[in-house]
Chain A
Amino acid sequence: MASVSDIKETFFQECDDLLEALNDGLIQIGGQGSPTEVDSETINAIFRAVHSIKGGAAAFRFNALVDFAHAYENTLDAMRAGRLGVTQDLSDLLQRAADHLADHVRAARTGEDLAPSSGTDLLARLSASLSNQGVSNNQDEAPPEFAPLALSFDLGLGLGDDTLSGRKKWRIGFAPAAGFLESGNDPVHILRELAGLGDLDARPNLNRLPALDDLDPEILLLDWQIDLEGALCEDDIRQAFDFVADLCKLEITSLQEVTFAAPAHLPASDAPPAAPLPSVTGPATAAPTPRASLRVDTDHVDRLINLVGELVINQSVLSRSVHEAGLAGQPTLAAGLSDLRNLSREIQEGVMSIRAQPVKPLFQRMARIVRDASDLAGKRVEFLTLGEGTDVDKTVIEQLVDPLTHMVRNAIDHGLETPEARLAAGKPEAGKVRLSAAHRSGRVVIEVSDDGGGINRPKVLHIAQSKGLIAPDATLSDADIDALLFLPGFSTASSVTSLSGRGVGLDVVKSAIRRLGGRLTVASTPGQGTTMSISLPLTLAVLDGMVIEVAGETMVVPIAAIAQTLQPAPDEIDHLGMGSGGMVVRLRDRFIPIVDLGCLLGFRNVAIAPDKMVLLIVETDTGAICALAVDAIHDQQQVVIKGLEANYGRVPFVAAATILGNGRIALILDPEDIIGFDAKAQATLSEKEDLPCLP
């Protein structure tokens, strides 16, 4: 059985879905542009979302959340009833209220308190929105507290706490009205309930019963006089009748006080019971059936992914053993193994796709960042999203929140011009920020672009020079200048703003993306805007790797980092006279420093002979390049990533480990780390790049 905390967790998960539905609806109402005709189903859906959040929150006594949801719901209710027209202003208010509602949900989840003042402004605006509605309609909106019907029909209302004074004798006149049975109520149940309260003596009045032939069993023609004795008060008795208070004539008297007067006989109902209709068809509007989905604990999925990884490894161990046993020639065995391989691969892909989720919730969070950031920056922003349905690994989505937040803020804060500058440049006052996601050749590309002034390259150059990040006389290409933005400690804002800045620069974004196995690039056109692109692997759990051998060790290099592999001819390698590390390879008229992996990792002291080496040219996002010298390349295969950091901490030059087809463990190298380590040597070398190529 579900525990309270399980149900609470369900509630929060549901809140996430409801908030998403809420935001969807609000976008339809018109997040951008002029107020549009809003269809009632959209408003209903919005109302339901807030209403459901309120309902669940009340069950868990999240009072602050309930109160805010209630105020929000009132405004939505007025819209639903058509008393409140949708204006740009209202749409804006609803959006902000949705943001605040999300804050409340989060606060309820984490147990923190929202600042008491946060939201008072919104509450005031919500309540002010209601005062705009038509006065004449207001009158049918009697507050429920004053409705007598509510009192008689409610469970748990009208139950005063009369003090019990020992046993008491009561006489009850109970005469059900026509329609009593049709409501699904049954006098027998009520009598049974009363019998449970004390000593019961119920006498039916049979006077209205017709002859048997004329009897209609659908109509109740009995009434009762009931004597009840027990330690109970009038309200205890009334409670037994609480659902039928408006469906019967009820007289309750204390026998100690007055004698009972028999209830007046009710006239027999002349309305025949409703004729049964042949079929049960509700007002079914042909709504599209949502795709069925299943909610699964991520732990289960992760376990499955891990197991499938093992399966794939096992499968290759098996094929290897079969091969080594000389059985590979057997047609049935070979066919079976090949089927097993294909199936394992398909299962692996299928399991991986379970972890994939659309980026939509992430994008919705960014919509909020845009609203907050544009307010603070005093800029009007039109926010567009594309490719919300693009699936990305769940872990990746979670880890993209911070980098994307920074990038979006950056686009608003630094990318977009002030409204005045935009108008002066002949652009619309509202700047455009576009967030898009797409699958491109096995990777996910997420872009944040703005239509602002583009990167101010002279300014960037000047800042970099004044901060000593580059030499004062350095001449850099546009791409080189743009890359300066990602240097640690770089900030273009001349004053630190509350949005970006604060010492957290794009370098942090870049390293966060890199940790995900992604790349961050920037493209900019002066006067037209800037686009920052994140390119990510589809999943974090497997990696396309090249299996190599170095000094007798088997290792894996991520293929994504490898630009080229080659076996250099002796005349392509030059010695720059700096010992074993001082070799470069000439490739398309460019000298690339050679790093002997065996030496770097401490497996050997002397680099492999140039005529025996195989080179892997690896490149970073920033264009830093180096050639890794290895002994041999074995294979190219997908490997399952097994993290090392949890057990070993950060190991230099090593990203993770994996288990290979032969069951052996191999380290997965981190080319970025290796190149970074080699950067100094490369800086020295680049000064020699002007040297003519030796024949």
Chain B
Amino acid sequence: MTLRILAIDDSRTMREMLKSSLSAAGFEVHTADDGLHGLDRMAEVDPDVVITDINMPRLDGFGVIEAVRRGTVRPRRPILVLTTESAPELKSRAREAGATGWIVKPFDDQRLIGAIRRIASI
């Protein structure tokens, strides 16, 4: 079964990069361009892993994580935070919100793919 991934990032570049490298790794990749859009897509795509940026318009990554964790549909699905921010307080906020893991951009394809395989539930 193919692993479904939802990548939420307001940067088109980042979305295309994720799509390109993760599709190459055999994942089914869907994208959304901000947090609210991500939550919309969530219902539709039902991803096995969510990858989200933090700093986004309308709804940020923390909001996405909280919404998923408080939701009723697969609230424990793995969520990877992928962001350029490396400030510790932001990380602990992400952890408190319920992030599964944290990867700092620019990301290394193989590490990201390894991380996704490690946290994915199929």
- A, B assembled together: yes
| Interface positions of A (Cβ within 8 A of B) | 1-2, 6-7, 10-11, 13-14, 44-45, 47-48, 51-52, 54-56, 58-59, 61, 140, 142, 144, 147, 149-150, 153-156, 181-186, 189-190, 193, 240, 242-243, 246, 274, 276-285, 287
Contact across chains for A280 and B68 when beta carbons are under 8 A apart: yes
Contact across chains for B71 and A282 when beta carbons are under 8 A apart: no
**How far apart are the CA atoms of A261 and B36 in the complex, in Å?**
48
| Smallest Cβ-Cβ distance to B99: which chain A residue | A183
Contact across chains for B88 and A150 when beta carbons are under 8 A apart: yes
**How far apart are the CA atoms of A55 and B105 in the complex, in Å?**
7
- Which of B59, B63, B101 has the most chain A CB atoms inside 10 A of its CB? B101
Pick from A144, A190, A287: contact of B57, CB below 8 A: A287
**Does B1 have its Cβ within 8 Å of any Cβ on chain A?**
no
Determine how close the nearest CB of chain B comes to the CB of A686; give it in whole angstroms: 60
Contact across chains for A56 and B58 when beta carbons are under 8 A apart: no
**How far apart are the CA atoms of A58 and B68 in the complex, in Å?**
29
Contact across chains for A58 and B84 when beta carbons are under 8 A apart: yes
Contact across chains for A280 and B16 when beta carbons are under 8 A apart: no
Within 8 A of A (CB), among B85-106: 86-89, 91-92, 95, 98-106
Determine how close the nearest CB of chain A comes to the CB of B58; give it in whole angstroms: 5
Given contacts A45-B57, A182-B69, is CB(A243)–CB(B11) below 8 Å? Answer: no
Determine how close the nearest CB of chain B comes to the CB of A587; give it in whole angstroms: 59
Interface size on B, residues (CB 8 A): 63
Determine how close the nearest CB of chain A comes to the CB of B80; give it in whole angstroms: 8
**How far apart are the CA atoms of A155 and B118 in the complex, in Å?**
12
**Does B45 have its Cβ within 8 Å of any Cβ on chain A?**
no
Pick from A155, A277, A287: contact of B115, CB below 8 A: A155
| Smallest Cβ-Cβ distance to A8: which chain B residue | B13
Determine how close the nearest CB of chain A comes to the CB of B57; give it in whole angstroms: 7
Pick from A45, A140, A282: contact of B63, CB below 8 A: A282
Pick from A10, A44, A185: contact of B78, CB below 8 A: A185
**Does B3 have its Cβ within 8 Å of any Cβ on chain A?**
no
Give 1 or 0 for each of B4-16: 1 = CB within 8 Å of chain A CB: 0000001111101
Determine how close the nearest CB of chain A comes to the CB of B88; give it in whole angstroms: 3
CB-based A-B contact count at 8 angstroms: 160
| Smallest Cβ-Cβ distance to B50: which chain A residue | A184
**Does B39 have its Cβ within 8 Å of any Cβ on chain A?**
yes
Give 1 or 0 for each of B62-86: 1 = CB within 8 Å of chain A CB: 0110111111110111110001101
A282 surroundings in chain B (CB, below 8 A): 35-36, 39, 59, 63-64, 66-67
Determine how close the nearest CB of chain A comes to the CB of B116; give it in whole angstroms: 10
**How far apart are the CA atoms of A411 and B87 in the complex, in Å?**
47
Pick from A10, A59, A140, A246: contact of B95, CB below 8 A: A246
Determine how close the nearest CB of chain A comes to the CB of B9; give it in whole angstroms: 9
Would you mind naming 18 contact pairs between A and B with Cβ atoms under 8 Å apart? A51-B55, A55-B14, A55-B106, A56-B13, A59-B107, A153-B91, A154-B103, A155-B104, A182-B76, A186-B119, A193-B117, A193-B118, A243-B118, A280-B42, A280-B68, A282-B63, A282-B66, A287-B57
Contact across chains for A7 and B16 when beta carbons are under 8 A apart: yes
| Smallest Cβ-Cβ distance to A159: which chain B residue | B111
Pick from B58, B63, B100, B105: contact of A183, CB below 8 A: B100
Contact across chains for B10 and A48 when beta carbons are under 8 A apart: yes
Contact across chains for B119 and A185 when beta carbons are under 8 A apart: yes
| Interface positions of B (Cβ within 8 A of A) | 10-14, 16-17, 19-20, 23-24, 35-36, 39, 42, 55-59, 63-64, 66-73, 75-79, 83-84, 86-89, 91-92, 95, 98-108, 111-112, 115, 117-121
**How far apart are the CA atoms of A54 and B92 in the complex, in Å?**
23
- Which of B16, B23, B66 has the most chain A CB atoms inside 10 A of its CB? B16
**How far apart are the CA atoms of A1 and B21 in the complex, in Å?**
9
B103 surroundings in chain A (CB, below 8 A): 154-156
A287 surroundings in chain B (CB, below 8 A): 57-58
Contact across chains for B20 and A1 when beta carbons are under 8 A apart: yes
Pick from B11, B68, B102, B112: contact of A153, CB below 8 A: B102
**How far apart are the CA atoms of A140 and B92 in the complex, in Å?**
14
Determine how close the nearest CB of chain A comes to the CB of B6; give it in whole angstroms: 13
A51 surroundings in chain B (CB, below 8 A): 55, 84
Determine how close the nearest CB of chain B comes to the CB of A141; give it in whole angstroms: 8
Given contacts A14-B13, A284-B58, is CB(A55)–CB(B71) below 8 Å? Answer: no
Pick from B20, B23, B35: contact of A7, CB below 8 A: B20
**How far apart are the CA atoms of A38 and B66 in the complex, in Å?**
29
**How far apart are the CA atoms of A354 and B78 in the complex, in Å?**
42
Contact across chains for A156 and B91 when beta carbons are under 8 A apart: no
Pick from A56, A147, A155, A279: contact of B14, CB below 8 A: A56
**How far apart are the CA atoms of A22 and B79 in the complex, in Å?**
30
Contact across chains for A155 and B84 when beta carbons are under 8 A apart: no
**How far apart are the CA atoms of A512 and B14 in the complex, in Å?**
39
Rank and list the top 3 A-B pairs by shortest CB-CB distance, nearest first: A147-B88, A243-B101, A184-B100
**How far apart are the CA atoms of A240 and B115 in the complex, in Å?**
9
Determine how close the nearest CB of chain B comes to the CB of A159; give it in whole angstroms: 10
**How far apart are the CA atoms of A276 and B107 in the complex, in Å?**
33
B16 surroundings in chain A (CB, below 8 A): 2, 6-7, 10
**How far apart are the CA atoms of A44 and B34 in the complex, in Å?**
14
**How far apart are the CA atoms of A47 and B56 in the complex, in Å?**
10
| Smallest Cβ-Cβ distance to B85: which chain A residue | A51
Given contacts A10-B12, A14-B13, A278-B72, is CB(A54)–CB(B67) below 8 Å? Answer: no
**How far apart are the CA atoms of A11 and B16 in the complex, in Å?**
9
In the complex, given contacts A58-B84, A149-B91, what are 5 additional A-B residue pairs having Cβ atoms less than 8 angstroms apart? A142-B88, A144-B86, A182-B76, A183-B100, A193-B118
